[in-house]
Amino acid sequence: VQAAREAARRSTCSNNLKQLGLALHLHHDVHQHLPAGWLAYDAATRLPYASGVPGWGWGAKILPFIEQLNVEKNLINYDLSVTDPAQEAARKTILSVFRCPSDTGKPIFRFVESHPSHPGHNEPEDDIEFATANYVGVFGTVDVHYCETLGIGQRCDGNGPMYHNSFTRFADIVDGLSQTFLVGERNSDLGYATWVGLPAGDECAPAMVLGTATYPPNSRAEHAHNFSSHHPSGTNFLSADGSVRLIAETIDTSVYHALCTRAGREPVSLP
């Protein structure tokens, strides 16, 4: 019985990812690019700045394509920072399409809980609450921590399809849409994520909307930034062609890295 229930939950999770994949394709059809991993600029100069504002993530930008236009129109002001008090209702809006039913995390979390391996930051944003999501964009194989070291005018580039101010086109994914992951799962036990976006200035904040393939799925090393799931058999990933694959923790590292980059030109044999 338990196995059957988990199989049903995993199927729902896979269907959620397929819905997100369709929404990402519709966004690309309308805007000629995928949504940015997150949007951030220096408030004074409007130049790219990874530690800047407003911080809205890719999930917010696909709301019209997942039948959530009312959330966007009535609750979100993209000119304001994600952490602006006026955006509280948006931050705490729970959307089922972003939740894996196997996940045991609470529906709303405090920012400080998004990076449990780095407790005690004592930042003003620590107690700001966000709606939980279990799907994060693929930043690539590089560590998101380096984003905080970049100055005004610099974009924090990942080697995956979603990163800071990315606006990736399908034509930029030269490895092939079927051989490049766009989105993967995040287990709340290893670090909370959200569809909304991220606060400015924290080195771990980009991992609230993006994941890295530096380590295998479910690895406890830098676990708050990894892809992970509660499924006993693996972690679901959405490919750029809209298909969903279950990836085991034992996947060959070189294959995993190839699937999480957009233009590495690596030969890859799909698992």
Strands 135-140 and 210-212, how do they pair?
A: parallel
DSSP H helices in the chain: 2-31, 58-61, 69-75, 88-91, 253-259
Distance CA 3, CA 11 (A): 12
> Residues 130-171: pLDDT tens digits?
999 999 999 999 988 889 899 999 999 999 999 999 999 999
**What pLDDT was estimated at residue 90?**
98
Quick one: pLDDT at residue 113?
77
Name the band, by pLDDT with cuts 50, 70 and 90, for residue 203. confident
Dump pLDDT digits (tens) for 228-265. 999 998 999 999 999 999 999 999 999 999 999 999 88
Q: Are 218 and 226 in contact (CB under 8 A)?
A: yes
What's the CA gap between 145 and 182, in Å, rounded?
Answer: 20
What are the C-alpha distances in Å from 267 to residues 24, 94, 175, 236, 237?
A: 25, 39, 9, 22, 19
Closest-CA residue to 111 (of 199, 52, 39): 199
Range of lowest pLDDT (49-63, 108-122, 196-210, 229-243): 108-122
Pairwise CA distance, residues 69 & 67, whole Å: 6
Distance CA 183, CA 233 (A): 18
Cross-sheet strand order for the sheet of 210-212:
210-212, 135-140, 181-185, 235-239, 244-247
